[in-house]
Amino acid sequence: MSAPTPDASDPTPGASGPMPDASDPAPNPSGPSPESLDQRLVAIARHPFRAKFHLRGRDRATAELSGPSTLRWHAYDLIAKRLAPAEPYKDGKQTPYRGHPVFVAQHATATCCRTCLERWHEIPKGRELSRAERAFVVDVICRWIEREVAGAQTRPGP
């Protein structure tokens, strides 16, 4: 079964796919570069639904107080439980819109469900995510959070 072709109005990036990773959620030196992740995030943010997500209030405070390594572990754990199975429980509805910075980031980066992963990141549905794919998803999420926190420090107010 081939992946569905997105319509021409969707800025679906396909340039840099998932990269190999280490067995733990530590940053992968051979993974995607911050520049390639930034290009992907900019393309995804052109979609009006994805562009409206930002870290605010408690989610922003949690991201700032927890720090990148803690958030990376949280992201890895949440992805392993909610997204990595071949057929996740309540797929398409399993990711809340707020309550944790990773949840907000998942919606902003189109890593919230298997349909979005397939459409935006070319990671097929119907099979368990590989370790490399899990690491890629975590890298995308963490890069978005990193950019949000950095932007929040230069942006006035909420």
Q: What pLDDT is attached to residue 26?
A: 47
Question: Of 4, 97, 6, 82, whose CA–CA distance to 44 is shortest?
Answer: 6
Q: What pLDDT is attached to residue 23?
A: 41
Q: How far is residue 36 from each of residues 56, 59, 71, 105, 154, measured CA to CA in Å?
A: 25, 25, 21, 17, 23
Comparing 5 with 155, the larger pLDDT belongs to 155
pTM, whole model, 2 decimals?
0.76
Question: pLDDT band for position 153 (50/70/90)?
Answer: low
Least confident of 26-30, 38-42, 66-70, 77-81: 26-30
Comparing 36 with 48, the larger pLDDT belongs to 48
Query: What is the Cβ-side half-sphere exposure of residue 41, based on CA atoms within 13 angstroms?
Result: 25
* C-alpha torsion sign, points 80, 103, 144, 153: negative
Whether 44 has a pLDDT exceeding 50, the answer reads yes
Q: What pLDDT is attached to residue 22?
A: 38
End-to-end CA distance of the chain: 44
d(CA 31, CA 127): 22
Q: What is the pLDDT of residues 107-144, one digit of tens each?
A: 999 999 999 999 999 999 999 999 999 999 999 999 99
d(CA 60, CA 56): 5
Q: What is the mean pLDDT of residues 83-108?
A: 94
Question: pLDDT band for position 33 (50/70/90)?
Answer: confident
Q: What is the pLDDT of residues 61-87, one digit of tens each?
A: 999 999 999 999 999 999 999 999 999
Question: Of 156, 155, 145, whose CA–CA distance to 60 is shortest?
Answer: 145
* C-alpha torsion sign, points 85, 100, 145, 95: positive
CA dihedral 90, 91, 93, 96 (to 10 degrees): 100
- Angle subtended at Cα 42 by Cα 40 and Cα 46, rounded to the nearest 5 degrees: 115
| pLDDT above 70: percentage of residues in the chain | 77
